[in-house]
Amino acid sequence: MFQEIELANLFNWAVLPTDLAATPLQDPEAARALKWLHALPSAEQNDALARIGARLPDLDAAKSAALLVLTGRLVEDGASPDAVVPGGLAHLDRLRHLHEPIAADTWCFSVIGLMAMLCRSASARALLKQQAELLTWLEEYEDLSDHFGYLLHMARAADEDVLWVLFPTNETGLEVSVAQVHNTFQLLTLLQPLVLEQAAGLKLTSHPVPIDPGLLRYARGDASTSPVEEDHARFEWLTTAAYLGGPLDSWQLAWGEAAVFSLPRVRGKVTLIATEKEARMARSWDVNFLALMHDANRPDVRFRRLLPAAEVRALLAEIHPPVSSERS
């Protein structure tokens, strides 16, 4: 009963129009809502968040933005983000159709609240990526708010439950998972240490220098670590277009700022080809595309398993049929 009364009071406040110059986050109703929501047991808190999320598209725009910040704070403290994000995105989509002026803080607070959730939930990021019209609009009208870039950045982040790396020469490979990785350069930076750790299982014969821990921290978002100007790739990284059933086309590089989800797939999974070729590419760290947009935006690549030789051969055969070595 207490929760019903508090929610009713909250919605009665949130439905009232807000003056363009007002700041709803400073209203006593906002502070009261945050206090009682914090005090709720986890299950009741998540239920309340779901009910708030469902109402966001229908409430006053500025107060919906304030509620997104409040619920974002709860998510930062451990609440589930998934119940709020659908309503938060619907609220954002509603804003772009409004004819009356929208305060800059309304855009700002809407994005800040959503970012706290998007950085903590792969399913929330997947839902964001499905909003094609909204994302196109955000990109087209990015001059309306400096904060639109944060959402666009998260929409480009890759979350792959399974990503394969194949060493055709050795008939070996490994399977990894990827979370919040923004481009191929970042992927390979975080992937190379895992490959080195599995050197024996991958039957690697070269012994590349270990990755500088400072570079790894920087690639994971530690801005306090200054990267070196240049390092070298530990392996030759290619797309699946490089595999021709036998020889490899070294021009089909996997590199640079390309989004991970744009890389070729096998069986629906992003797949990379790797070799131990000695002439490895120099990598300039004069980059700004690794900048993170939120404290909880932490790119990660994790080892799952080594691929058996039979599975590697089957995957390679799907990329390109083997080329016979026999003369006709």
Instruction: Provide the number of structural domains found in the chain.
Output: 2
Domain that holds residue 20: 2-156
Evaluate whether residue 306 is within a structural domain: yes
Q: CATH number for the domain including 87?
A: 1.25.10
Q: Indicate whether 325 belongs to any domain.
A: no
Residue 65 and residue 96 in one domain = yes
| 180 and 268, same domain (yes or no) | yes
Instruction: Give dist(CA 178, CA 184) in Å, integer.
Output: 11
Q: Is residue 50 part of a domain?
A: yes
Apex 186 CA angle, 181 and 189, nearest 5: 125
Residues 7 and 20 in one domain: yes
Domain assignment present for 328:
no
81 & 138 share domain: yes
Give yes or no: residues 124 and 216 share one domain: no
Task: Kindly state whether residue 63 falls inside one of the protein's structural domains.
Answer: yes
Most confident of 3-7, 77-81, 269-273: 269-273
Q: Quick one: 137 and 99 in the same domain?
A: yes
Are residues 13 and 151 located together in one domain of the fold?
Answer: yes
Over the stretch 62-114, which tens digit does the pLDDT of each residue have? 999 999 999 999 999 999 999 999 999 999 999 999 878 888 999 999 999 99
Please list the residues that pair with 181 across neighbouring strands: 158
Which pLDDT tens digit goes with each residue over 161-194?
Answer: 999 999 999 999 999 999 999 889 889 999 999 9
148 and 174 assigned to the same domain: no
In a shared domain, residues 291 and 142:
no
Q: Indicate the residue among 133, 156, 179 that finishes a domain.
A: 156
- The verdict on 149 and 177 lying in the same domain is no
Final residue belonging to a domain, choices 121, 156, 191: 156
Q: Is the pLDDT reported for residue 328 higher than 50?
A: no
Give pLDDT, residue 322: 75
Residue 326 within any structural domain of the chain: no
Residues 221 and 144 in one domain: no
Q: Say whether both 145 and 230 belong to one domain.
A: no
Residue 305 lies in a domain: yes
Output the CA–CA distances (angstroms, integers) from residue 45 to 75, 78, 84, in the order listed. 10, 10, 12
Q: Which of 168-172, 233-237, 242-246 has the highest mean pLDDT?
A: 168-172
Final residue belonging to a domain, choices 156, 177, 210: 156
Residue 288 lies in a domain: yes
